[in-house]
Structure 1
Amino acid sequence: LDEDAAVKLAVKGLLEVVQTGAKNLEVAVMGSDAKLRILSTEAVEAVTKRIEDEEAAEQEKK
């Protein structure tokens, strides 16, 4: 997995247990350089929107 895919997977998993959406999520990424980076609220919301859009597209196909 690349970093974007890993973040997307983590957010998708968290959205399964958090009912209020991206506003109550904090996501941190630790790269191979061992530096911790906390994603901004805007970045988490963007990932959340992308996940929701993909799920809506899946529902339209059915």
Structure 2
Amino acid sequence: MPAQGAGPDDSAQVVAIGGDGAAYHTVRTPEGSWSDFAPITDNVGNSVQVADVSIAANRDDSAQILVTGRR
């Protein structure tokens, strides 16, 4: 299930699990345009395989993403 966090400037961020089991992220600007979904990767560029995702928006328009990995 996708998770969404809204910023104080009317921006939004969405994180979701793709059909391949990887986590993906997109951002909506305050003007309403969306970025393409991009994979969330580890520190060497590998897609992160997950079982669940959540997101929380911060007052400074950043976000914290929490994923539960697969075993």
TM over 0.5: no
| TM-score normalized by the length of structure 2 | 0.29
Q: Which has the higher helix share?
A: 1
- Normalised to the residue count of structure 1, the TM-score between the two structures is 0.31
**Greater share of residues in strand:** 2
